[in-house]
Amino acid sequence: MISVPRLAPYTSLFAFIVGLPTLIGTYYQAWKTRQESREARQGLVYSENCLEFMLEDGTTINLVPLETLHTLPKPGDIVLLPGRVHHMDEDPMHAAYQVIRLEYIYARVENRHTQFGQARLAKAVAHVHDLSSATDDHFFRGSNPVVSVTLPTVD
């Protein structure tokens, strides 16, 4: 029978060979999970720092970078946006949309010099209604109110 003191060096070597990769793998998984949870909290990977125009059904129409805007549209404003969700060859390339409401999404500022509770505007979502899908008789009956249009100026 083999004595325990003679097996101790072999068991220590075996524990090191198995334990070290397990430790490294566990650390890597914890790091990856923290990184994924931070990205999930932001939730703005593809549209961060943008004004997103969204239809009632949740379909995104356009993304406009926030730094290119002088002002944000207000509820009731009519905006002309390029492109359509379901574009056919006979459809125009642009459409008129009325802004129903705005949502502002803020993110925590994460650096060494931030103060407690400091946040920044990370994304704005403008929920819009497609005016070009309305039937023509609605326009002739006067059921749609006339709303002023605010257009950004180009410097």
Provide the pLDDT for residue 62. 85
What's the CA gap between 93 and 125, in Å, rounded? 22
Provide the pLDDT for residue 32. 94
Q: Is 57 in the same domain as 133? A: yes
The list of the chain residues with pLDDT below 50 reads 92, 135-147
List, for residues 114-132, the tens digit of each pLDDT value: 677 788 888 899 999 888 7
Q: Please choose, from the candidates 137, 121, 139, the residue with its C-alpha nearest in 3D space to the C-alpha of residue 78.
A: 139
Provide the pLDDT for residue 33. 92
Q: Is 68 in the same domain as 34? A: no
Residue 130 lies in a domain: yes
Q: Is 110 in the same domain as 65? A: yes
Q: Which helix (H) or strand (E) holds 129?
A: strand 119-130
Structural domain boundaries, residue 126: 50-141
Q: Whole-model pTM?
A: 0.53
Q: Is 4 in the same domain as 66? A: no
Residue 112 lies in a domain: yes
Residue 154 lies in a domain: no
| C-alpha distances in Å from residue 118, one per residue of 21, 49, 89, 121 | 40, 17, 48, 11
Q: Please choose, from the candidates 131, 74, 64, the residue with its C-alpha nearest in 3D space to the C-alpha of residue 100.
A: 74
